[in-house]
């Protein structure tokens, strides 16, 4: 039986953290067992906001190396850079003709920026480039080009997938045939929120992350610096309201969790000890990832080769979609 297709885009935003790992990377890698997977680095998307070439170049490599270190197997996943697939930009132009401007006006990212501008009394379009405004069209092309069935994304991206559905629907309705497959979002519900160092959701914008590939010494320091309440050592403590314990749960077995929880409840354990336990399990999990990351990031040529090979595998699929669209539209190549 033919397998369904899972596709997702990864924005090169630099250093990955454990929130990315549990929220995005791990669930996407699990889908590889049941789907044909295409995962790519969305480098042209990043260009909208990142204008410094050295930074962009480094971010692309770091994120690509990060996913490989975290377990993406390039022999099982077609792993490429968006910029390696020129067909993305052909399809973008074609679907532009089927995308209502009003649809773009409603995109959350654009609306948020416009609202922030208005609040400051500035022109609503200040700092908005056309790349940002048409972002959902490029993203729709990324998806529709490869006949994706499911798109693993975070909640914030659902609207973009719905826009891709709208656009594909408009194309199919116009040509009265299935030119573009309608994708659906796969939102990992139980890939719950990873608590950050301060107990809020782990997020780059809160500066409360644990970077995935931190060396052992810095990882330990970061965990030891976690803020706790001033409950004395001898007091019984509630594990479920302790961010140390909530993080611990992500990295430990059921038995380990039960054991630490009972030490919390028994009293006599200080926060320092709980942090040592947390460090031990986090480091146990991250040490092999860290080692692989170092090896992959050091081999720039090897990394580029992997991404190039991925693009070579992806392009024939993309070309077939563009061809199908051209034919339906009356823009065949003679
Ligand atoms: N917009 C996504 C994000 O910000 C990244 C992305 C680009 C994407 N193209 C995509 C995700 C296609 C899924 C499918 O995270």
Return the CATH number at 11.
3.40.50.620
CA distances from 160 to 49, 81, 95, 139, 167 (A): 18, 20, 14, 7, 11
* Residue 247 falls inside a structural domain: yes
pLDDT for 333: 74
Atom of ligand 1 nearest to the CA of 148: 14
* Residue 38 falls inside a structural domain: yes
* Residue 200 falls inside a structural domain: no
Please provide the DSSP assignment of 60-76 as one string. HHHHHHHHHHTT--TTT
Of the residues 11, 26, 181, 204, only one is catalytic, namely: 204
- Ligand 1: centre distance to CA 320 (Å): 22
pLDDT for 138: 98
Ligand 1 pocket mutation pick from 27, 31, 39, 42 by most atoms within 8 angstroms of CB: 42
Q: Residues 221, 223, 224, CA angle at the centre, nearest 5°?
A: 65
* Residue 202 falls inside a structural domain: no
Please check whether residues 176 and 305 belong to one and the same domain: yes
Q: Is any ligand 1 atom within 6 A of the Cβ of residue 8?
A: yes
Q: How many CB atoms lie within 10 A of CB 153?
A: 21
Report the distance separating Cα 325 and Cα 332, nearest Å.
9
Q: Which stretches within 101-215 are classed as H helix?
A: 101-105, 108-119, 130-133, 135-144, 158-175
Q: Is any ligand 1 atom within 6 A of the Cβ of residue 151?
A: yes
111 belongs to the catalytic site? no
pLDDT for 159: 97
Overall number of domains in the chain:
2
237 belongs to the catalytic site? no
- Ligand 1: centre distance to CA 142 (Å): 8
Report the distance separating Cα 277 and Cα 260, nearest Å.
8
147: left (phi over 0), alpha (psi -120 to 50) or beta: left
Please give the span between the terminal C-alpha atoms of the chain, in angstroms, as a whole number.
Answer: 36
- pLDDT tens string, the chain, 334 residues long: the values are 689 999 999 999 878 999 999 989 999 999 999 999 999 999 999 999 999 999 999 999 999 999 999 999 999 999 999 999 999 999 999 999 999 999 999 999 999 999 999 999 999 999 999 999 999 999 999 999 999 999 999 888 999 999 999 999 999 999 999 999 999 999 876 556 788 998 788 888 899 999 999 999 999 999 999 989 888 999 999 999 999 999 999 999 999 999 999 999 999 999 999 999 999 999 999 999 999 999 999 999 999 999 999 999 999 999 999 999 999 999 987 6
Q: Is any ligand 1 atom within 6 A of the Cβ of residue 42?
A: yes
- Ligand 1: centre distance to CA 9 (Å): 4
* Residue 207 falls inside a structural domain: no
51 belongs to the catalytic site? no
Domain span at residue 242? 213-293
Report the distance separating Cα 199 and Cα 208, nearest Å.
8
- Ligand 1: centre distance to CA 302 (Å): 25
pLDDT for 155: 87
pLDDT for 192: 60
- Ligand 1: centre distance to CA 135 (Å): 9
Please check whether residues 117 and 37 belong to one and the same domain: yes
CA distances from 293 to 128, 297, 311 (A): 35, 6, 22
* Residue 174 falls inside a structural domain: yes
pLDDT for 190: 59
Please check whether residues 10 and 147 belong to one and the same domain: yes
Which backbone phi and psi does 184 adopt, to 5 degrees?
Answer: -130, 150
Please check whether residues 145 and 279 belong to one and the same domain: no
pLDDT for 141: 98
Of the residues 11, 201, 249, 327, only one is catalytic, namely: 201
Report the distance separating Cα 278 and Cα 255, nearest Å.
14
Please check whether residues 184 and 322 belong to one and the same domain: yes
């Amino acid at each position: 039986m033919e397998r369904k297709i899972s596709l997702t885009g990864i924005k090169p935003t630099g250093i990955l953290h454990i929130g990315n790992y549990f929220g995005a990377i791990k669930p996407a890698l699990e889908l590889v067992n049941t789907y044909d997977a295409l995962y790519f680095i969305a480098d042209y998307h990043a260009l909208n906001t990142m204008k410094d070439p050295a930074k962009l170049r480094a971010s692309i490599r770091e994120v690509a190396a990060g996913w490989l270190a975290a377990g993406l197997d390039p022999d099982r996943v077609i792993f490429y850079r968006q910029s390696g697939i020129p067909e993305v930009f052909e399809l973008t132009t074609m679907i532009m003709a089927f995308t209502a401007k009003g649809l773009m006006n409603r995109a959350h990212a654009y609306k948020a920026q416009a609202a922030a501008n208005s609040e400051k009394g500035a022109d609503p379009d200040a700092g908005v480039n056309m790349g940002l405004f048409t972002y959902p069209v490029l993203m729709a092309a990324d998806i529709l080009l490869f006949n994706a069935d499911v798109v693993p994304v975070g909640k914030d991206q659902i609207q973009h997938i719905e826009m891709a559905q709208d656009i594909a629907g408009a194309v199919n309705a116009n040509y009265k045939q299935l030119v573009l497959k309608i994708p659906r979002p796969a939102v990992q519900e139980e890939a719950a929120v990873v608590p950050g160092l301060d107990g809020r959701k782990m997020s780059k914008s809160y500066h409360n992350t644990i970077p995935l590939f931190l060396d052992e010494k810095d990882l330990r320091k970061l965990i030891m610096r976690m803020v706790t309440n001033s409950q004395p050592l001898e007091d019984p403590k509630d594990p479920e309201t302790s961010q140390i314990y909530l993080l611990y749960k992500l990295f430990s077995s059921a038995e380990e969790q039960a054991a630490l929880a009972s030490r919390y409840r028994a009293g006599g354990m200080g926060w320092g000890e709980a942090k040592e336990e947390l460090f031990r399990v986090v480091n146990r999990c991250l040490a092999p990832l860290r080692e692989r990351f170092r090896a992959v990031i050091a081999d720039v040529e090897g990394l580029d080769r992997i991404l190039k090979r991925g693009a070579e595998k992806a392009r024939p699929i993309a070309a077939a979609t563009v061809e199908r669209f051209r034919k339906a539209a009356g823009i065949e190549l003679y």
